[in-house]
């Protein structure tokens, strides 16, 4: 036994004694690390994992998707734990419904899969604020992913509560959880050992007594910054067999005497608004997976089923200080598509995996692809202007100068800043900073927009005294990785000036839009400013569908009260996925918040998604 295995078994024995939770299975799988092998029940074990995120797939579909993953030849599912969905307000935890990570893990076990959990606290994942709760930003100056005691106190509380959900599911106690990851690709951003050690300790204190590991970009630089002595280091990368070989060769000095694993092999990629749709070729992916299987190298396909960034949950990148929000779809060109259909990539990977398994281990037959359906065009006849709806949506607050929404206790959605101008106001209106998309209105008339993606923050205005200036700002998703995360308060984060003079004395309307039941729609209204539109369609049978939003501009869609997410005609995503479980036989109600006037205010449902620019 090497030092690592001794350490792990001592630690496991010690913590097992601490817990008196009843075991789930008579003989828990015994997972251990010995030299360069993972061992399950004493036998060498190659982890064939796929990543699937429980908030990105409606709970009703978890079992189906996990069964499909198993039938492709995987023996393990990896998921992050998403802090922001489970602690929406400090100290208020919610593990119900789609947030029920323990139920997800148990379902995986029932479907014959082991599980790896990556509880962060930072998860990246193209997820709002990298998984951090937005309320962390209510504390000015707090540094996430650091030894800042305010941050560490918050993450300790999160891990402690998460431990109540997951500790009984450790493989040491009969559950399917084999390993847990400490932090996430920390080597890309820092090298503070004290911070990493603190996170490791918080995980052990939470009862996570299985082997812990760290994942980083390949090669000594990132790996040495993001590793802890005594922990297995895995690498994240993509490419064909050649690139895979190079990634492992470069990383070899840091992976001495430990099992080799691709902690994330990117089997596709994600989309950002305004950019072309991303895919990754099946040949590239199968050649890499075949190469790893030939050598008994463990892997985790990121993603096996990407799913959807429902609601407000997409993250954003900040490449060279250019803000780029991630689309609502997180299809990721993954083997199982956003609608639960088996793609050619799925079939090809299943073949490669089957070819590497002994004849005595035939893979289960894959379940059928989930059906999708078309819905004939339906009109949204009723509408109400957002400004008219303000009283039913928001309790205004006053503020001398504008602040981000966090200062008003708001996490997600839109926020409106209103000022009745005391004097004639002519010049350049400068909003610093617009986070992220502002519609500027005077007396309810749209004057223009300021889009952070285009780095816009100023426009000319010429308004008489007594005009009401409204700045309606949408939070398009907080930065989920790298520099700028802590500075990504949403709304207006600094000052509003006209020709260098501060405008002060604002009325602020937080618009989280988590309850639209108070909206009073009017039939055949035709607002020409940001407005909610409502319509319905009837169906005899229920199946998934893709709402075609190409006749609209920019906004959000809710169906039967479920917030599907954002649409934006700049693409590449042009359709919004609707899961079957959110539909019902008979009438289905659709509400669209459209930020711009014009358009047809009608929708059709398509059997397949459309990706492309507005012109395509
Ligand atoms: C990294 C992160 C993941 C995800 C992928 C890209 O590997 O660890 O969370 O952001 O990149 O999709």
- Residue 564 covered by a domain: yes
pLDDT of 439-451, one tens digit each? Answer: 999 999 999 999 9
Atom of ligand 1 nearest to the CA of 126: 10
| CA neighbor of 53 nearest in space, from 265, 304, 346 | 304
Of these residues, 51, 165, 185, 474, which one is catalytic?
185
Reported as a pLDDT band with limits 50, 70 and 90, residue 320 is: confident
State pTM to two decimals.
Answer: 0.94
Residues 151 and 264 in one domain: yes
Looking at the 3D structure of the chain, how many domains does it have? 3
- Report the alpha-carbon distance of residue 129 to residue 493 in Å, rounded: 16
Distance 186 CA to ligand 1 centre (A): 12
Element (H, E) at 450: strand 445-451
Ligand 1 lined by 84 (C-beta under 6 Å):
no
Residues 296 and 436 in one domain: no
What single string gives the DSSP state of each residue in 85-101? HH-SBTTB---SGGG-H
Residues 519 and 499 in one domain: no
Ligand 1 lined by 186 (C-beta under 6 Å):
no
Ligand 1 lined by 270 (C-beta under 6 Å):
yes
Please identify, among 479, 504, 529, the residue that sits at the C-terminal boundary of a domain: 504
Q: In what order do the strands lie in the sheet with 37-40?
A: 31-34, 37-40, 43-44
| 298 beta partners | 261
Distance 263 CA to ligand 1 centre (A): 10
Reported as a pLDDT band with limits 50, 70 and 90, residue 600 is: confident
Reported as a pLDDT band with limits 50, 70 and 90, residue 326 is: very high
Contact 458, 439 (CB under 8 A): no
- Residue 102 covered by a domain: yes
- Residue 361 covered by a domain: no
Reported as a pLDDT band with limits 50, 70 and 90, residue 28 is: low
Residues 253 and 326 in one domain: yes
Question: Can you give the pLDDT at residue 524?
Answer: 85
Atom of ligand 1 nearest to the CA of 303: 12
Contact 65, 52 (CB under 8 A): yes
pLDDT of 35-72, one tens digit each? Answer: 999 999 999 999 999 999 999 999 999 999 999 999 99
Task: Supply the CATH number for residue 525's domain.
Answer: 2.60.120.260
In the block, tokens 């015994």 appear at 30
Contact 336, 84 (CB under 8 A): no
pLDDT of 143-192, one tens digit each? Answer: 999 999 999 999 999 999 999 999 999 999 999 999 999 999 999 999 89
Long-range contacts of 139-145 (CB under 8 A, 24+ apart): 142/486, 143/486, 144/485, 144/486, 145/183, 145/186, 145/189, 145/190, 145/195, 145/485
SS3 171: helix
pLDDT of 482-527, one tens digit each? Answer: 889 999 999 999 999 999 999 999 999 999 999 999 999 999 898 9
Please identify, among 504, 526, 551, the residue that sits at the C-terminal boundary of a domain: 504
- Report the alpha-carbon distance of residue 190 to residue 482 in Å, rounded: 10
Question: Can you give the pLDDT at residue 319?
Answer: 87
Residues 282 and 207 in one domain: yes
Residues 139 and 73 in one domain: yes
Residues 328 and 437 in one domain: no
Residues 231 and 303 in one domain: yes
Phi and psi at 278, nearest 5°, equal -105, 140
pLDDT of 244-271, one tens digit each? Answer: 999 999 999 999 999 999 999 999 999 9
Residues 221 and 105 in one domain: yes
Ligand 1 lined by 124 (C-beta under 6 Å):
yes
Phi and psi at 442, nearest 5°, equal -125, 125
pLDDT of 553-580, one tens digit each? Answer: 999 999 999 999 999 999 999 999 999 9
Residues 292 and 440 in one domain: no
Distance 436 CA to ligand 1 centre (A): 23
What would the two tokens of residue 564 be? 């599907």
Ligand 1 lined by 185 (C-beta under 6 Å):
yes
- Residue 389 covered by a domain: no
Q: What's the mean pLDDT when you consider all of the chain? A: 94
- Residue 444 covered by a domain: yes
Ligand 1 lined by 51 (C-beta under 6 Å):
no
Of these residues, 51, 126, 183, 264, which one is catalytic?
264
Residues 534 and 476 in one domain: no
- Residue 29 covered by a domain: no
* 131 Ramachandran zone, left/alpha/beta (phi>0; psi -120 to 50): left
Question: Active site includes 264?
Answer: yes
Domain span at 537: 375-384+515-606
- Residue 537 covered by a domain: yes
Closest protein CA for atom 5 of ligand 1: 125
Residues 483 and 535 in one domain: no
């Amino acid at each position: 036994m090497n030092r690592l295995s001794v350490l792990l078994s001592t630690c496991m024995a010690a913590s097992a004694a601490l817990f008196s939770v009843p075991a789930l299975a008579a003989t828990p799988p015994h997972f251990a690390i010995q030299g360069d092998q993972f061992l399950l029940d004493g036998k060498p074990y190659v982890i064939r994992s796929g990543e699937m995120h429980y908030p990105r797939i409606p709970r009703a579909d978890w079992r189906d998707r996990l069964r499909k993953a198993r039938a492709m030849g995987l023996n393990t599912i990896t998921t992050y734990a998403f802090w922001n969905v489970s602690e929406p307000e400090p100290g208020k935890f919610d593990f119900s419904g789609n947030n029920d990570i323990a139920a997800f893990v148990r379902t995986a076990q029932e479907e014959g899969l082991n599980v790896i959990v990556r509880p962060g606290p930072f998860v990246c994942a193209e997820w709002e604020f990298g998984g951090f709760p937005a309320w962390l930003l209510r504390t000015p100056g707090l540094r996430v992913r650091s030894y800042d005691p305010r941050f560490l106190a918050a993450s300790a509380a999160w891990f402690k509560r998460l431990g109540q959900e997951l500790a009984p599911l450790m493989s040491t106690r009969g559950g399917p959880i084999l390993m847990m990851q400490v932090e996430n690709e920390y080597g890309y951003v820092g090298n503070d050992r004290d911070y990493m050690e603190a996170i490791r300790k918080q995980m052990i204190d939470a009862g996570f007594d299985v082997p812990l590991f760290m994942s980083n970009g390949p090669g000594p630089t990132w790996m040495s910054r993001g590793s802890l002595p005594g922990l297995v280091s895995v690498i994240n990368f993509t490419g064909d067999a050649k690139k895979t070989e190079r990634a492992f060769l470069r990383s070899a000095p840091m992976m001495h005497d430990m099992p080799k694993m691709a902690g994330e092999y990117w089997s596709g990629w994600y989309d950002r608004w305004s950019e072309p749709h991303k895919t990754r070729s099946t040949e590239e992916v199968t050649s890499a997976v075949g190469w790893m299987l030939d050598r008994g190298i463990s892997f985790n396909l990121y993603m096996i089923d990407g799913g959807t960034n429902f609601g407000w949950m997409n993250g954003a990148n900040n490449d060279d200080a250019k803000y780029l929000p991630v689309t609502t779809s997180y299809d990721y060109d993954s083997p199982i598509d956003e609608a639960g259909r088996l793609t050619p990539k799925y079939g090809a990977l299943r073949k490669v995996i089957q070819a590497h398994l002994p004849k005595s281990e035939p893979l289960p037959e894959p379940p059928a692809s989930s059906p999708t359906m078309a819905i004939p065009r339906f009109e949204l006849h009723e509408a109400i202007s957002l400004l008219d709806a303000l009283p039913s949506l928001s309790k205004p607050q006053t503020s001398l100068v504008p602040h981000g929404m966090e200062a008003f206790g708001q996490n997600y959605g839109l926020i409106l800043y209103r000022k009745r101008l005391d004097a004639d106001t002519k010049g350049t209106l400068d909003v610093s900073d617009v986070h992220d998309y502002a519609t500027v209105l005077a007396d309810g008339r749209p004057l223009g927009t300021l889009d952070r993606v285009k780095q816009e923050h100023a426009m000319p205005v010429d308004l008489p005294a007594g005009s009401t200036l409204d700045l309606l700002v949408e939070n398009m998703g907080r930065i989920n990785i790298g520099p700028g995360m802590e500075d990504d308060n949403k709304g207006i984060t600094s000052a509003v000036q006209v020709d260098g003079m501060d405008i002060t004395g604002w009325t602020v309307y937080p618009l989280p839009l988590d309850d639209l039941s108070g909206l009073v729609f009017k039939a055949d209204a035709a607002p020409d400013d940001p407005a909610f539109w409502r319509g319905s369609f009837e169906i005899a049978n229920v199946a998934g569908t893709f709402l075609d939003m190409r006749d609209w501009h920019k906004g959000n869609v809710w169906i039967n009260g479920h917030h599907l997410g954002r649409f934006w005609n700049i693409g590449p995503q042009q359709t919004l996925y609707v899961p079957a479980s959110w539909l019902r036989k008979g009438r289905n109600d659709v509400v669209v918040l459209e930020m711009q006037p014009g358009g047809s205010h009608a929708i059709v449902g398509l059997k397949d998604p459309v990706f492309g620019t507005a012109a395509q």
